[in-house]
Structure 1
């Protein structure tokens, strides 16, 4: 994948995370504050815990830091997959955000 292809896919992922937060906030009482600064989106939950999603351009990866730990995702031609477990990014984000929000949340691409 070229650097430009990586940036297009990674920027689309960040935009999707932001759009999902807006949708979740409109349809639930989860109250996720999301802030984007450059290639990083910070999700802050009601209990002040955070999930951070940021781009790692030199590695062509997306990193996710949650209360459960830190995870690295690489594009596999179909979706972003964890480099260790092969779990899909949005499935993981849904699980970790649900844990931190204390309610079932669903993120999708």
Structure 2
């Protein structure tokens, strides 16, 4: 994957997450600063942070349960330690932090 392809994949992913958050039933605020997307659960103030890691062409997710490194494997991002794809990983960590099932409906 070239740097340009990586940058495009990250940008598309972050936009898709923002769109899913706009459409979901949960009160999850988000703020984006360049390549860092911070999700804040309004019920308890906990956060999940997604960040671009250009040097190793990964997308990192930081949550209460730990840090997760995701590599792009067509057609999407896959966690290098758990094997989960990004939608499953986000739903899981958000559910853990919310204390109730959360599904963003990402594909």
Instruction: Indicate whether the TM-score tops 0.5.
Output: yes
TM-score (structure 2 length as normaliser): 0.92
**Matching residue of 1:20:** 20
Q: What is the CA distance between 1:103 and its match in structure 2? A: 2.2
**Matching residue of 2:60:** 63
Deviating beyond 6 angstroms after TM superposition, the runs of 4 or more aligned structure 1 residues are: none
Q: Does 1:53 align with 2:53?
A: no
Number of positions where the alignment pairs a residue of Structure 1 with one of Structure 2: 105
Higher strand share: 2
Structure 1 portions without partners, runs of 5+: none
Structure 2 portions without partners, runs of 5+: none
TM-score (structure 1 length as normaliser): 0.90
Greater mean alpha carbon deviation, residues 78-87 or residues 89-98: 78-87
**Matching residue of 2:37:** 41
* RMSD of Structure 2 on Structure 1 (CA): 1.0
Q: What is the CA distance between 1:102 and its match in structure 2? A: 2.4
Q: Deviations over 1:19-62 (max 9, x none)?
A: 111111xxx2x211100000010001120110000100111000
